[in-house]
């Protein structure tokens, strides 16, 4: 069914507040989830609320966290999230990074001890809206087989990038280092739909189209994706003194405990490297150039990174956001959560 941006944010906020979050933090999470749903990235949208509510209700998220921010150098800092909701901590850490980059040209802010933070595109867009370049990476629990292996070691370890163009122009790039994010598997499960056999493998290491038989995901482009997820793990785990590799906590193991995840924001002020207006003009020119490249057979147009989701977002604002019926019914119900995620299996069904 379809709902409006305003209604969806209200429903999510109310549910998370009822689960135990401060209303301000519940609104912050809702902002990020609705951002994802508006852009058609439903794997990181409202379908996550039931899981968040269960973890909050069971004590696995600090509901009144003591956030701290400490500069460790002219362009570096650590933001400690005290295992609060990752969305709020990551947003506040990016606010600090933006301020630092405006003052010193570059900012690198490590975000320590947080929960799942949702769609990274939200945070890099914060930077781009301020005329800055944003890059954000985050670790996740082990559910990807390394190239040539059978046992999971790394997480989907996503990377996001955004750069501002003229006026409201913006290039946004947000990807998991797997063929598809785990949330896409969850979305397929919620709709009872098969997945392509290139996304994941079953317990025997064989490709599967059944989202309920997934035992591990596959890295994008084989060894290249494997290398990228290793890089993200180093920057968000090893660098920040947090668990790394297969030691990263599972999303579904013991929801009464904090996850201690790490995230890294890198913000660059183009004005410290070139003329800012020229930079923005050239980003817009890049976007236009890509749109005017002759499309290959079977394609109507070449899109610049993020353009397809931006188009979906504009349409959703007018036509409404498409939400799975079961998810909507849960949001408007009196149920806080369905007690279905506290499971030692990282591929919880």
**301 with 311: CB under 8 angstroms?**
no
Identify whether 187 is a catalytic site residue: no
**146 with 118: CB under 8 angstroms?**
no
Q: Is the dihedral of CA 179, 264, 312, 307 positive or negative?
A: negative
CB atoms within 10 A of CB 91: 19
CB atoms within 10 A of CB 297: 4
How far apart are the C-alpha atoms of 155 and 57, rounded to whole Å? 25
Q: Which of 17, 25, 35, 116 is an active site residue?
A: 116
Helices (H), the chain: 5-19, 23-38, 49-57, 86-104, 121-128, 182-190, 223-233, 276-291, 307-319, 325-332
Nearest to 34 by CA among 251, 305, 335, 313: 313
Which secondary structure element, helix H or strand E, spans residue 309, and what is its range? helix 307-319
Q: How far is CA 72 from the centre of its chain?
A: 26
Catalytic residues: 116
């Amino acid at each position: 069914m379809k709902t409006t941006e305003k209604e969806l944010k209200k429903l999510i906020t109310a549910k998370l507040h009822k689960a135990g979050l401060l209303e301000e933090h519940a609104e912050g999470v809702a902002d990020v989830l609705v951002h994802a749903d508006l852009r058609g990235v439903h794997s990181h949208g409202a379908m996550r609320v039931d899981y968040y509510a269960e973890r909050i209700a069971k004590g696995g998220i600090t509901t009144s966290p003591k956030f701290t921010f400490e500069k460790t150098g002219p362009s570096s800092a650590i933001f400690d999230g005290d295992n609060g909701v990752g969305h709020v901590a990551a947003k506040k850490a990016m606010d600090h990074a933006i301020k630092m980059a405006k003052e010193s040209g570059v900012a690198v802010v490590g975000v320590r001890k947080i929960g799942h933070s949702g769609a990274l595109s939200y945070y890099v867009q914060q930077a781009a809206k301020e005329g800055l370049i944003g890059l954000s990476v985050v670790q996740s629990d082990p559910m990807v087989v390394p190239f040539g292996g059978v046992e999971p070691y790394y997480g989907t370890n996503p990377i996001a990038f955004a750069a501002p163009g003229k006026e409201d122009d913006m290039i946004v790039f947000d990807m998991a280092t797997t063929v598809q994010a785990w949330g896409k598997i969850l979305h397929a499960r919620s709709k009872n739909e098969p997945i392509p056999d290139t996304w994941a493998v079953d317990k025997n290491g064989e490709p599967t189209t059944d989202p309920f038989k997934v035992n591990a995901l596959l890295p994008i482009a084989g060894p290249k994706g494997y290398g990228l997820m290793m890089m993200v793990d180093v920057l968000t785990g090893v660098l920040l003194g947090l668990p790394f590799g297969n030691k990263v906590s599972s999303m579904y193991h013991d929801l009464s405990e904090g996850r201690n995840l790490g995230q890294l924001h890198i913000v660059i002020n183009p004005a410290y490297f070139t003329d800012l207006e020229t930079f923005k003009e050239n980003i817009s020119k890049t976007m236009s150039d890509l749109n005017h490249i002759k499309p290959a057979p079977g394609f109507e147009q070449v899109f610049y990174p993020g353009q397809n989701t931006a188009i979906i977002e504009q349409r959703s604002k007018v036509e409404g956001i498409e939400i799975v019926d079961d998810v909507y019914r849960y949001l408007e119900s009196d149920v806080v959560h369905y007690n279905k995620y506290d499971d030692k299996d990282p591929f919880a069904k």
